[in-house]
Amino acid sequence: MPIIEKIYAWGHENILCTHRSTIEITKETNLTMRGDCVLAVGASKACLDLTADFKHKIKNGKKFKVKLEVDDIQDFFYGFGNKDLKLLDKSDVVFRKSAFICDRTVLINCSKSSKELSRELISKLENPEKKISLTFEVDE
């Protein structure tokens, strides 16, 4: 599967990743304990910043593999685009297990929520010095 987009973000001491239906990456650098779906902060991109080619593939309903990597720890999940996705949010990228769509949603019907991600990867992201890469591959 060809790589079509990458996002980088950072850990935070309040990373929990216990939400049952979403995973969120945010450009914001502050995180409270209420943000239980947040995987990382200080992201290099939000929905609005994604490349035109990537947005086109998302709106065509393509299936994507999202690979997560922190140091030598990896995890992945799958999600789907949809013609109704807006991709307009200036701060966040949200992956949803459901088919709910809003300006922050990038993929729907995802195979994992934040609660289901590798706990080893999550524990690394409790350190603000740790950087995560999210690599999007399209299943053509």
Q: What is the CATH number of the domain that holds 24?
A: 2.60.120.630
Burial class (CB in 10 A: 0-12, 13-18, 19+), 122: buried
Tens-digit pLDDT profile for the chain (140 aa)? Answer: 677 899 999 999 999 999 999 999 999 999 998 999 999 999 999 999 999 999 999 999 999 999 999 999 999 999 999 999 999 999 999 999 999 999 999 999 999 999 999 999 999 999 999 999 999 999 76
pTM score, two decimals? Answer: 0.96
* Confidence at residue 1, expressed as pLDDT on a 0 to 100 scale: 67
Q: How many domains does the chain have?
A: 1
Range of the domain at 89: 3-139
